[in-house]
Amino acid sequence: MKQIDELFTAAAIHPNEVQQQMLASHVRAMALRSLTGEPLPEVEAELFEDISPESMQLAQQVVDLFGNLPREEAWLLSVHFEVAKANA
């Protein structure tokens, strides 16, 4: 979470407390999937077409920290970045 906080700071994104809690829950689930190999349900890329490239890139950086998660994880995680960007 510290590394994610650094990404938020560098991108001038300021999640509120509820957004931080939801993000932490999501990251814990990602970490568990990384350890167990449990797959995500099928996710359609088209659902994330409105996510900004910046949010998608930040999410991919987080997913890359795990080293063994599919790109769909970044799609889902990008929503947290996109929502928090609206706080500015």
Cα-flanking dihedrals φ and ψ of residue 59, to 5°?
Answer: -65, -40
- Give me the half-sphere count of Cα atoms (radius 13 Å) on the Cβ side of residue 11: 24
Whether the per-residue pLDDT at 88 is higher than 70: the answer is: no
Please report whether residue 81 resides in a domain.
yes
Average pLDDT over residues 9-21: 95
Is 9 part of any domain? no
Q: What is the pLDDT of residues 32-87, one digit of tens each?
A: 999 999 999 999 999 999 999 999 999 999 999 999 999 999 999 999 999 999 98
pLDDT for the residue numbered 60: 97
In a domain, 44, yes or no: no
* CATH code (residue 33): 1.10.1790.10
Range of the domain at 83: 16-37+50-87
Per-residue pLDDT at 87: 87
Split into its structural domains, the chain has a count of: 1
